Structure 1
Amino acid sequence: MILHICGAADWAEVGEGGEYRPSSLEDVGFIHCSDFGTAHLPANALYRGRTDLVLLEIDPAKLGVPVRWEDGEPPHPAGVWFPHVYGPLPHAAVVGVHEFGEVDGGGFRLPSSLAHR
């Protein structure tokens, strides 16, 4: 499984049978994703203070488009690579939607609904 951070309202607009197309798909040609151990990195770097986020749990086998593991832009200082989805995200590929907010004391951590996996 891979994960994608997005606004709850953005995901709510994608109906059954629909596709999610964030602006990054047009801007850079792919959808930025993370794995269970790295979702907090882009969240802490880009989404501090946001209270409207969800974490989409995606089954890559249901995507029907390529997923490539690549370094970030700019590359992460620790050499972390992230999964990039090269096409729209079909609603059917999302197997879970999890609230994703900062924890007490600040910063993002994997939601408890995913932490046991």
Structure 2
Amino acid sequence: MKPLYRIAEPADWAQAQHTGFFTSQDLATEGFLHSSERHQVLETARRYYAGRRGLLLLEWDEAALEAAGIKVKREWVESRQQHFAHVFGPVPLAAVQRVWPFGADAAGEFHLPPELG
């Protein structure tokens, strides 16, 4: 399975350090956590986090999510004309493989961490 990625607010990540699980407002309001595959991350950042700095990019292991009983379902998102992985539950920290600082540069553009190409 491919890794999944989540652009995260620092406050949500800090809360995860205390609870052992990553969650955010979308789980409460929509019933799932939004996530992306690598090729979807930059467009997601441009659309929803324009010019933002101080964010984080989390890499989730889909197999670890499923092993923890967390359902992952790829659902069609009409506005993007693509399927996106929706995660139906809090993400245990054991499923978080890597974390990078993530934010717009001085020109307002986002770039993937060098490890992701």
Same fold (TM over 0.5): yes
The structure that is helix-richer by fraction is: 2
**1:52-91 mapped onto 2 (5 Å cutoff):** 52-63=54-65, 64=68, 65-72=70-77, 74-76=78-80, 79-91=81-93
Instruction: For residue 7 of structure 1, report the CA deviation from its aligned partner.
Output: 1.4
Residue deviations 1:11-50, cap 9 Å, x none? 1221277111211111111000001100011110111121
- The answer to whether residue 43 in structure 2 is matched with residue 41 in structure 1 is yes
Query: TM-score, normalised to structure 2's length?
Result: 0.86
**How far 1:70 sits from its partner (Å)?**
1.2
Equivalence map 1:6-25=2 (5 Å):
6-15=8-17, 18-25=20-27
Moved over 3 A (4+): none
Identity of aligned residues (%): 37
Determine helix, strand or coil for the equivalent of 1:15: helix
**Which ranges of structure 2 fall in alignment gaps of 5 or more residues?**
none
- The TM-score normalised by the length of structure 1 is 0.86
Tell whether the 8 Å contact from 2:5 to 2:35 is kept in structure 1 after alignment. yes
1:110 matched to which residue of 2?
A: 112
Segments of 5+ residues of structure 1 without an aligned counterpart are none
What count of residue pairs does the alignment treat as equivalent?
112
- Please give the root-mean-square deviation of Cα atoms over the aligned residues, in Å: 1.7
